[in-house]
Amino acid sequence: MKNFLLLFAVMLLSGFSYAQQLPARWDELVASDFSAALEKSSKTCILPIGILEKHGPHSPIGTDLIHVREWAAHAVKSEYAVVFPDYFYGQINEARHQPGTFALPSKVIWDLLEATCDEIARNGFQKIVILNGHGGNPEFIRFFMQSLLNKRHNYAVYFYNPEGSDKEYAEQYRKMHKSPMENDQHAGERETATLLYYRPDLMKMDRAESQSGDNQHRSNLPNIYTPIWWYAAYPNHYAGEGAKATPGFGKFIAEHEIATFVQALKVIKADTSTIKLQNEFYDKVDGLNK
């Protein structure tokens, strides 16, 4: 009888523990748990932004999306925040010549991002953390964020943009990196290694050398920018040597990026100044018209 009661108590406790574990993904929450998720997250929502584009001949079209999705999912196990579902609407016009690319007009991606942030905030979140996985997005994201100051918003957007300040990590990274680092930009060793860690089942490593990821140097205009620069350099939409990637290198990269993002989440969740300063700014703007 005692053993039965003990087993029953364990089952009750485990059931209670399970009930207390809130899903982090927005789409996996039940509506009746949403208020609890808001409280537990300090009203913080992560918006992982990827893209759909060719990633060499060996890595999935959704590499950037898969990367940030897994990155966020691992981070919130240590520091809870609600994770918005898959978002792959960004700037990718330079890859429209490749199959599988999903490139929407600029006005659409702009309006969609603002509407998404507004709707996230309408559901109670005050802090939206953009976690970007696509190299063609930062300029768009920064301009979008600066433009939010054009009218009053009741939320703050944070763009997580890790800098290479960890000297120990950088030194070990250089030691483990096998291909020329200056050309490791898109579907190359670093990006391939990361996906080999997060989703090895999706990788086609036997195809990694079937196309060239070398810079073709088809345009040479010093100090001049043209939108065709990427295509001129990398017509295969592949920059680097993915074949040299290893799962071990990917694990090293992923563990570091997860740990640093967790620290950033802690800082953002504890931040009380950004929204306060925004409101002060909006009030001064409104005061000019009085």
Give the pLDDT score at 54.
Answer: 98
**Amino acid type, 98:** Q
- For residue 244, what are its two tokens? 């040299």
**CA–CA distances in Å: residue 224 to residues 215, 228, 235, 279:** 18, 11, 19, 39
Task: Give the pTM.
Answer: 0.91
CB 61 within 8 A of CB 55: yes
Q: Which residues pair with 129 in a beta bridge?
A: 46, 158
Please give the radius of gyration of the chain, using alpha carbons only, rounded to the nearest integer. 22
The mean pLDDT of 73-77, rounded to a whole number, is 98
* Angstrom distance (rounded) from CA 57 to CA 54: 8
Burial 88-115 (b: 16+ CB within 10 A, else e): bbbbbebbeebeebebbeeeebbeebee
Pairing mode of beta strands 82-83, 127-132: unpaired
CB 100 within 8 A of CB 52: yes
| CATH label, 23-269, candidates 3.40.50.2300, 3.40.50.10310, 3.40.50.2030, 3.20.20.120 | 3.40.50.10310
Nearest-angstrom CA–CA distance, 197 and 195: 5
Percent of the chain with pLDDT over 90: 90
pLDDT range class, residue 161, cuts 50, 70, 90: confident
- Tens of pLDDT, residues 97-139: 999 999 999 999 999 999 999 999 999 999 999 999 999 999 9
Euclidean distance between CA atoms 289 and 285, whole angstroms: 8
How many angstroms separate the first and last alpha carbons of the chain? 78
User: In the chain, what are the domain boundaries?
Assistant: 23-269
Q: What angle do CA 61, 161, 140 make, to 5 degrees?
A: 65
- The fraction of the chain above a pLDDT of 70, given in percent, is 93
Helix (H, G, I), strand (E, B) or coil at 61: coil
Residue pLDDT, tens place only, 22-73: 999 999 999 999 999 999 999 999 999 999 999 999 999 999 999 999 999 9
Query: In the chain, what is the greatest distance between 2 CA atoms, to the nearest angstrom?
Result: 84
Q: What is the DSSP string of 190-251?
A: HHHHHHHHH-GGG--GGGTTSS--S-------TT---TTHHHHH-TTS-BS-GGG--HHHHH
Helix, strand, coil percentages, rounded to 5, for the chain: 55, 10, 40
